[in-house]
Structure 1
Amino acid sequence: MRIILTNSERDEIILWLLCETIPGMIVSSNDLKSFKKRASRFFYCTVKNQLLYKGGTDVYLRFFTLDEEQFKKDFITLIHVQNEHDGRDRLYYFLKSKAYGITTRETSDMVNGCEICRSRRALVTIPIIDVHKRERYIVDLVDFRYYSDVNDGVKWMLVMVDTLSKYMWTVPAIRTIFMTFGPCFLLHSDNGREFCNDTTHHLFSSLVLQYEIYCRKTI
């Protein structure tokens, strides 16, 4: 069960760890035994002047009381920024090694409220609707350079798919497709370096072709 303390309960544990002062509210032996058991889970760091939770052998975690909610939020925010705005899960598991009692809900609220993280989320895109065959092709390159010596010197394989019919071509010469069926209206690829480089940019400019690396809307 997760330990939750108020500031006064924290101070009582600190006094016990430093000079074994028993809190005045404890009157029975069972209460004293329970208090000692709870206090044994903590360590007081005189250098940092902080009460730390024992997370294991030589593992001491930052501890926040109920009255230190704002300090906890500031701590989560600081770690989030220092870790270059990690996502909720990565942030949560990293915080588990630094502090005690931080929940996934708290990390989720922190990430959801971060303006930088919200700006990084994928933008809502409008799908491209195809109504005719061979209107738009999706192309991608398969890298065979590592196996070119056992593949008759072939270094690349271009895969082309018609987005409407899902028909796929795998032929050695790409010109065969265009010479047989004619050019398409849209040629769609990913942002790999084989497509996004100075050579392709120069080619598109010389052929007066419209080229967009990323667009939210296609008209």
Structure 2
Amino acid sequence: MLAEISSQYSWIPKFVVEIFLKHCFACQVRKPVKQQVVSKSIISLGVMNRLQIDLIDMRTRPDVVSNDIVYQWILNCVDHFSKFSWAYPLQNKSASEVAKRLRELFYVFGPPRLLHSDNGREFVADVIQDLKVSFPGMYFVRGRPRHPQSQGCVERANGVLTAALGKWLTTTKSLN
């Protein structure tokens, strides 16, 4: 509305237009109503109650321009309650390598009650399903397809981790 009025009456100062719009009843009625996004927040009751996992692709990073990278993926695991994060370098994103790293984590810290992942093939494979047999008290939850907001905690942690790694890779010129 402000841009509309300013384009027709450019000689009127902006603060005068804002005062007019604030007191104009018709302008207030015509203002679009902002829709509130209804989201159901995830509640965690303790440490290792819900663990969100995701993979970060390091092959497409702008600060990594070489093809001789040993570790091309990072398995990022975030405890939803404490926001504590574990990151494991992976040579490929095979389900067996992901399962191996998850077992290492679970043997040290214990398995979570809920393991929350996206629908990537590396998280749906039989090797990952075998974790259910090894850790019978653990449940698997998958987010909606093509909806990263369903596991926002690990997605935010991915952003923080990639930003920090990008700075480190740029300053050290290291690829691994």
Q: Common fold, TM-score beyond 0.5? A: no
Higher relative contact order (CA 8 A, sep 6+): 2
Instruction: Give TM-score, length-normalised by structure 1.
Output: 0.35
